[in-house]
Amino acid sequence: MSLIQDKQLAEISINDLLIPSEKVAHVQLNNPLEHALLVLVKSGYSAVPVLDASYKLVGIIGKTVILNQILGLENFEIEKLSSMKVKEVLNRDIPTLTRENSLLDGLNAVIDHPFICLVDKEGYFDGILTRRAILKEIKKNIYVNSYKKH
């Protein structure tokens, strides 16, 4: 990618690309795993954000980690779905961005993650930035730049 395109990516804010918090499926720390699995299966998403009771972001939880937790030596221990809570298994080690970050920051982050959680200054959950939204925006910019050349 040329330096000019790099510069444009650094100038575009992710503010316009985010999925706002009210449209994002999420679960809470104290939910049983059963509820989390239900949200994941019904929404169709592989992973969703986890919030605390005050709607601050804590991490993410996915189907694979839940299924791994309830997998015994020979079969699934289904009763663990109601006895274990989201706070026992979620992944807290996740990158976050804010609305002020650039599209380039977003692009770097979605190389290793299908979506990135956005937070405000106090850590309240603000929405997500998905790989799809980033790729769509970059495609638009590639078209614009190749049109300018011809």
Q: Which listed residue (44, 72, 147, 148) binds ligand 2BA by CB under 6 A?
A: 44
Q: Which is nearer to ligand 2BA, 8 or 130 (CB)?
A: 130
Whether the CB-CB separation of 33 and 79 falls below 8 Å is answered with no
DSSP three-state, residue 52: coil
In which residue are the tokens 């807290």 written? 92
Q: Which listed residue (45, 77, 85, 104) binds ligand 2BA by CB under 6 A?
A: 45
Stretch 120-149: interaction string toward ligand 2BA, x if CB under 6 A: --------x-xxx-----------------
The number of helix segments (H) and strand segments (E) in the chain equals 7, 7
Q: 127 is written with which tokens? A: 């929405």
Where does this chain bind ligand 2BA (CB under 6 A)?
A: 19, 23-25, 43-48, 114-115, 128, 130-132
